[in-house]
A = this chain, B = another copy of it.
Amino acid sequence: MTLGELLAELDCDALGGEMHALIRELYPTCRSITGDGVRETLRRLGNLIELTTTEVASGTDVYDWTVPREWNIRDAYVKNRAGERVIDFRESNLHVVSYSVPVHRTMSLAELRGHLHTIPEHPDWIPYRTSYYSEGWGFCLPHSQLVQLPDGEYEVCIDSTLEDGHLTYGECLLRGATDDEVLISCHVCHPSLCNDNLSGIAVAAFLAKQLAPLSLRNSYRFLFVPGTIGSICWLSGNEERLQKIRHGLVLTCVGDAGSITYKRSRAGDAVIDRAVAHVLESAGRPFEVRDFVPYGYDERQYCSPGFDLPVGCMMRTPFGEFPEYHSSADNLEFVRAESLAHSLATALRVFDVLEHNLVCRNLKPKGEPRLGKRGLYDLIGGERVQDSQLALLWVLNQSDGRHDLLAIAEKSGLPFSAVRDAATALLQTDLLEEEPRR
């Protein structure tokens, strides 16, 4: 099966439902940048796709960073005098600041307050907070609950461990006919947050699952990594591979109801940037393309100046631009099956461009060749020309070794598929050949 055939038959309803079910399943797990939550998440993904897991020991130096100690948590609560859990980790793992050190003490509300985080503007939501690189602890709770906490003593318990261990990441490589790689990366370090984390995980996993049985030209490498430190670990361990990465996408926040937002790579005009823009423009739905900024997800690492990889970031509503971001409201209702499916289909359409974006050379470049005698042209003169025939002329005219098929689509205003089909037809004649990749 080819990617084109896959796209033609794509059952978005079914796939959307399956992705949402996966998110539902992964939702309760308490993930962080290290620990068993990530391992459990990767184990579950291993049921869907062939996943290799790498463990990097605490204390390992990776560029300017050091892999931190591993954090795990069993339980946490704040109890009132009556022994009732007024804050309970078992109800939501967001209640505990991620990477909180263990604590078990009784303290006054006044002292406890310094460790409590809320969102006053959204008094019913629990915020998500982390404290990776400075030792501390804290609880998160709805603001409405905070303001009603009576004064008095509270028993505070965080039953966590922060010890030498490992950072864990997952990787799935689909080998294509060439070594040219497409990198797809998502972060796996957030606990019960759906759009910011699980949506990217689900779409990436199902992309890998869909592509796995296909015969592909490019190789596709999927990374499921803890944010920042995880991608830095992978980069550090794979420098020799980086030159093979021709294109890349970070996937995040791809499940909400908003339209697609694409953030360009640092270069701004990489093939991936042009391919995504072309697919979005052709689709006739609202979208936004933004320039690179060095703030966001792991594209910050891939696009750091020492690597400058052609990696963009595909989102729906960007992080920080939906109020539910980093709160308990980024929940199972906030992500939608149809959005997940649309994000997946869009990525597949982008891959379809990448699969077929050849640079060709016209072998009869002097004057137009006769298409009719090669069965490529209907001709009783005087009829209106078809897109398919225009595409033949465009491919022949522009295939001087300097224009890839995507550039021809951009210049002609024709859909990439028309240009690709024309090139495919011409490549079967004596008129066109593929240029070797540089």
Contacts and interface: CB of A to CB of B under 8 A. Distances in A.
Interface of A: 62-65, 97-98, 117, 127-134, 228, 231-232, 235-236, 266, 291, 293-295, 300-301, 303-308, 320, 326, 362, 364-370, 372-373, 379-382, 384-385, 390, 393-394, 396-400, 411-412
B380 A130 contact: yes
Contacts of A306: 362, 364-367
A304 B367 contact: yes
Given A128-B382, A380-B130, A305 B399 contact: yes
A64 B382 contact: no
Nearest to A393: B294
Contact of A366 (B63, B131, B382): B63
Given A64-B364, A400-B305, A295 B393 contact: yes
B305 A397 contact: yes
Given A63-B369, A320-B384, 16 more contacts: A63-B366, A63-B367, A64-B367, A117-B380, A128-B382, A129-B382, A134-B379, A235-B366, A293-B394, A303-B397, A305-B397, A305-B398, A306-B366, A306-B367, A307-B366, A326-B382
Contacts of A131: 380-381
B129 A380 contact: yes
B294 A397 contact: yes
Contacts of A385: 295
Contacts of A228: 368
A236 B134 CA distance: 64
B294 A396 contact: yes
A362 B133 contact: no
26 contacts: A63-B364, A63-B366, A65-B367, A128-B382, A130-B380, A132-B379, A133-B370, A133-B372, A133-B373, A133-B379, A236-B367, A293-B390, A293-B412, A294-B368, A294-B398, A300-B393, A300-B397, A301-B368, A303-B397, A304-B365, A305-B398, A307-B365, A307-B366, A307-B367, A308-B400, A326-B382
Contacts of A236: 366-367
Contacts of A232: 367-368
Given A305-B400, A399-B305, A130 B370 contact: no
A395 to B, nearest CB: 9
A304 B134 contact: no
A101 to B, nearest CB: 14
A306 to B, nearest CB: 3
Contacts of A398: 294, 305
A367 B294 contact: no
Contacts of A390: 293-295
A385 B307 CA distance: 24
A108 B384 CA distance: 30
B366 A304 contact: yes
